[in-house]
């Protein structure tokens, strides 16, 4: 695989690469490429993680990159996930969450056996150098910077938080250096941590990131798209000056269950959520159903979407690209109700292998334990 082919796969369907020039240089110099993406253990896995995140991991794998998925149990504990019960978080991480990510990766065409899963607890246990790396990161940034970075926890800038949460950003940065990661991958919501990593990279004395010649280098930040939740924006129509702020607040969220489709949702549940989803007629901006079509269904050129409808409403029609579908939707020849039905059926089909995976007694029990925990917390 040549440089351009690798570059195309790594940059495919991304929102931002920091920086493209540095990435190209790593590839041209044949530097070993080491990727990581980290996830909080916060309950059920939705499509933003399961399909969007794992599809991007598949791209890295196809480009010959060494990929790892970080199960961030300590970060989840710090951020009060699952009631802040550290042992339960760890149990869910290596059980339900790991199995869900493996099944999701497989259903988008990746090989889960070729990905390394790293549990935070195991990375930190008996590793003094990790904690030295954390201190090194912290000495090269400021308290004010950490306070401004708590948005990566899903918190608001300026929000009053316990001191442990201020340790979250430098720990995330230390994770990158301690694992020797030169391709730090996440959704755009984790950008601040990656920018800090790049800012401190050349100052690091403990666990610095280096190239083959032992020169210090900065990690490349690769940010994939955050898909919209299915809910209507709090302000509609959306004023131009509020677009960026509202987009961030409208990402798919576990805390608003009907805004998300989870990887183990039943066909009936998927149809119900899609039926009530926000899909304004002829509108592209802030339309989650179109966003999912573009980002999930037509992510690869091989995809098709079948619209089924009576002849009096135009009859059946197959789409093999997003541009044609968007054009028909904007013109009004494709009705929101027909689009929602088609997307629901397509997602049911895509997620069928995940549902079968979780139908296995041992795996099903993991899911039941996790859902029981959500009810009691």
Tell me the DSSP string of 204-257.
-SSS--B-TT--B-PPEEEEE--PBPSSPPSSSSPPGGGHHHHHHHTB--TTSG
As a whole number of Å, the CA-based R_g of the chain is 21
Distance in angstroms (rounded) separating the CA atoms of residues 283 and 152:
30
158 and 89, same structural domain? yes
154 and 195, same structural domain? yes
Range of the domain at 119: 3-224
121 and 218, same structural domain? yes
Domain of 339, CATH number, reads 1.10.240.10
Q: Are 195 and 201 in contact (CB under 8 A)?
A: no
The Cβ-side half-sphere exposure at 190, using a 13 Å CA radius, reads 25
User: 66's torsion region: left (phi>0), alpha (psi -120 to 50) or beta?
Assistant: beta
214 and 67, same structural domain? yes
Residue 372 forms part of a structural domain: no
State the pairing for strand pair 14-18/220-224. Answer: antiparallel
217 and 256, same structural domain? no
Distance in angstroms (rounded) separating the CA atoms of residues 84 and 366:
19
191 and 291, same structural domain? no
- pLDDT (tens digit, 0 to 9) for every residue of the chain, 377 residues total? 899 999 999 999 999 999 999 999 999 999 999 999 999 998 899 999 999 999 999 999 999 999 999 999 999 999 999 999 999 999 999 999 999 999 999 999 999 999 999 999 999 999 999 999 999 999 999 999 999 999 888 888 888 899 999 999 999 999 999 999 999 999 999 999 999 999 999 999 999 999 999 999 999 999 999 999 999 888 888 777 676 666 666 777 766 778 899 999 999 999 999 999 999 999 998 999 999 999 999 998 788 999 999 998 889 999 999 999 999 999 999 999 999 999 999 999 999 999 999 999 999 999 998 888 776 55
Domain of 68, CATH number, reads 3.40.50.620
Q: Are 303 and 294 in contact (CB under 8 A)?
A: no
Q: What are residue 149's phi and psi, to 5 degrees?
A: -95, 0
Residue 373 forms part of a structural domain: no
For residue 318, list its beta bridge partners: 306
Run of H or E including 324: helix 322-331
Direct distance between the N- and C-terminal alpha carbons of the chain, in angstroms, rounded to an integer: 49
The Cβ-side half-sphere exposure at 300, using a 13 Å CA radius, reads 11
Residue-wise pLDDT tens digits, 286-332? 999 999 999 999 998 788 999 999 998 889 999 999 999 999 999 99
Distance in angstroms (rounded) separating the CA atoms of residues 260 and 138:
36
Residue 377 forms part of a structural domain: no
In the chain, % of residues over pLDDT 70? 96
Domains: count for the chain? 2
pTM for the complete prediction? 0.93
Residue 58 forms part of a structural domain: yes
State the pairing for strand pair 220-224/183-187. Answer: parallel
Distance in angstroms (rounded) separating the CA atoms of residues 133 and 174:
6
Q: What are residue 280's phi and psi, to 5 degrees?
A: -65, 130
116 and 82, same structural domain? yes
183 and 256, same structural domain? no
Distance in angstroms (rounded) separating the CA atoms of residues 297 and 319:
11
Tokens 């998300």 identify what position? 260
Residue 274 forms part of a structural domain: yes
Distance in angstroms (rounded) separating the CA atoms of residues 183 and 173:
12
Distance in angstroms (rounded) separating the CA atoms of residues 217 and 173:
14
Residue 277 forms part of a structural domain: yes
307 and 195, same structural domain? no
């Amino acid at each position: 695989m040549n440089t351009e082919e690798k570059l195309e796969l790594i940059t495919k369907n991304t929102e931002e690469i920091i920086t493209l020039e540095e990435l190209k240089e790593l590839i041209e110099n044949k530097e070993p490429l080491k990727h990581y993406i980290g996830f909080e253990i916060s309950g059920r896995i939705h499509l933003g993680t399961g399909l969007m995140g794992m599809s991007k991991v598949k791209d890295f794998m196809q480009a010959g990159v060494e990929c790892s998925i970080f199960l961030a149990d300590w970060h989840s504990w710090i951020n009060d996930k699952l009631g802040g019960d550290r042992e339960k978080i760890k149990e869910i991480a290596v059980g339900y969450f790991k199995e869900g990510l493996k099944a999701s990766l497989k259903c988008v065409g990746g090989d889960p056996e070729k990905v390394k899963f790293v549990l935070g607890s195991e990375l930190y246990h008996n590793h003094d150098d990790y904690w030295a790396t954390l201190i090194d990161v912290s000495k090269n940034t400021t308290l004010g910077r950490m306070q401004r970075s708590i948005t990566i926890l899903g918190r608001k800038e300026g929000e009053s938080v316990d001191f442990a949460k201020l340790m979250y950003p430098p720990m995330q940065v230390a994770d990158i250096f301690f694992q020797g990661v030169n391709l730090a991958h996440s959704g755009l919501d984790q950008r601040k941590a990656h920018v800090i990593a790049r800012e401190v990279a050349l100052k690091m004395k403990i666990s610095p990131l280096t190239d083959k010649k032992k020169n210090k280098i900065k990690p490349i930040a690769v940010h994939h798209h955050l898909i919209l939740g299915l809910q209507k924006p709090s302000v509609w129509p959306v004023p131009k000056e509020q677009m960026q702020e509202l987009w961030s607040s409208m990402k798919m969220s576990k805390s608003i269950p009907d805004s998300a489709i989870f990887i183990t949702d039943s066909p009936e549940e998927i149809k119900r959520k899609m039926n009530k989803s926000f899909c304004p007629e002829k509108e592209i901006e802030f339309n989650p159903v179109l966003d999912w079509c573009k980002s999930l269904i037509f992510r690869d050129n091989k995809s098709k979407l079948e619209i089924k409808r009576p002849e009096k409403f135009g009859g059946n029609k197959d789409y093999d690209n997003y541009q044609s579908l968007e054009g028909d939707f904007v013109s009004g020849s494709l009705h929101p109700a027909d689009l929602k039905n088609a997307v629901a059926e397509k997602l049911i089909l895509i997620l069928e292998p995940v549902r079968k995976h979780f139908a296995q007694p041992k795996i099903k029990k993991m899911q039941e334990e996790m859902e029981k925990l959500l009810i009691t917390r």
